[in-house]
Amino acid sequence: MALPPDPAVPDGSPPWGGSDPAAPPPPPPPHGSALPGGAAPGGAVPGAAPAAGPLPPPAPAADDGRDDVRGPILELRDEVGKVVVGQDGTLSGLVAALLVRGHVLLEGVPGTAKTLLVKAIAAALDLDFARVQFTPDLMPSDVVGQVIFESQEGSFRFREGPVFTNLLLADEINRTPPKTQAALLESMEERQVSVEGITHPLPDPFIVVATQNPVEYEGTYPLPEAQLDRFLFKLHVGYPTAEQEQEVLARHHAGLNPHDVSGAGVRPVASPAELAAARRQVDAIGVEPRVLAYMVALVRATREAPSVALGVSPRGAAALLHASKAWAWLAGRAFVTPDEVKAVARPTLRHRIALRPELELEGATTDGVLDTLLATVPVPR
């Protein structure tokens, strides 16, 4: 099986390579200069700093059996592609989050296949899936579960809520009050639920994928910084291209039912055991001290930037490390290079930065700040 080249940034660019993911893996190309806005065209990494200079060639992966696990994980792209057209960058970000037990916040307008994408990933990995529509009257017990009285047995029993699953889609999470949003905090961080003083562990794996609409803010409750910091990635889900949208219509015309992923032919291509093995390999990815120092320099630069009111926390630095290791594993490397750090910096850090209010009024964005930092922070050679 041909292994793909470097994965591109998870914001609309093709995952695990450029325009031809099935091609043999060429040496990673140098990243271009910083680009404003969202994804870069042609698989380039947006917001990238100048090239890091010569890097050692990727270590062969076949000797340690890495390809035996990477193969099924990489097949996810084709399997999910049976029902989802485009959104390759979002798919790659979700897979990377699964590899490091991270949660994902998807921001995009309705109708861009966010729910369908998560359902297809769950089906392709043979994982349980649950969806909760967050509304203003949703109660915490509707999410985590509650203790009920069994009249026939004369005893109380804990009835599990939808959070007891592998992939939980929290749809329009910013439309429910903070009390219900906070019900997810323990689940996301501790992977457990405490009710009536009793702790109930959640299944493994457990990933929360939350969505929010970037346009309609009336009647919404913005997520607090404490909860935003729990998400590994914040991914922007955009519109498909004209060609992709035409393909969507052609599939619907041919009878595609987006509510039935199994009927559309999506089958498990990787098991939870293979996902667990992939996680162990990601944990074993090497990181040199100079690369760790580069991550620290990026994070500390966000705290010192004059346009930033709140910089990235140490938890954000740890998230950048884990995301970079997942990206290196997807690229077939046995170690992390600055290229992986730059590729995941924006989706990993953009929601952990708060700009000064007066600059937000002038149109400044966190992505623009990160672009500047990626272009100015020295890259190790």
pLDDT, position 33: 31
- What average pLDDT does the structure give for the chain? 81
Judged against a pLDDT cut of 80, whether residue 59 lies above it is answered with no
Q: Which residue has the higher pLDDT, 105 or 174?
A: 105
* Domains annotated on the chain, with CATH: 65-275 (3.40.50.300), 285-381 (1.10.8.80)
Helix (H) or strand (E) holding 181: helix 178-190
Q: Which residue has the higher pLDDT, 345 or 40?
A: 345
Among 5, 96, 24, 47, residue whose Cα is nearest residue 327: 96
Three-point CA angle 36, 22, 253, nearest 5°: 80
pLDDT band at 62 (very low <50, low <70, confident <90, very high): very low
Judged against a pLDDT cut of 80, whether residue 84 lies above it is answered with yes
Q: Exposed e or buried b for every residue in 300-329, given b needs 16+ CB within 10 A?
A: ebbeebebbeebbeeebbebbbbbbbbbbb
Q: Which pLDDT tens digit goes with each residue over 145-166?
A: 988 888 888 888 888 989 999 9
What does the pLDDT average to over 272-285?
93
CB 185 within 8 A of CB 226: yes
Judged against a pLDDT cut of 60, whether residue 328 lies above it is answered with yes
pLDDT band at 234 (very low <50, low <70, confident <90, very high): very high
DSSP E strands in 182-240: the ranges are 192-195, 198-201, 207-212, 231-236
Judged against a pLDDT cut of 90, whether residue 16 lies above it is answered with no
pLDDT, position 347: 95
Judged against a pLDDT cut of 70, whether residue 67 lies above it is answered with no
pLDDT, position 53: 33
Measured over the CA atoms of residue 109, residue 115, residue 120 and residue 122, the dihedral's sign is positive
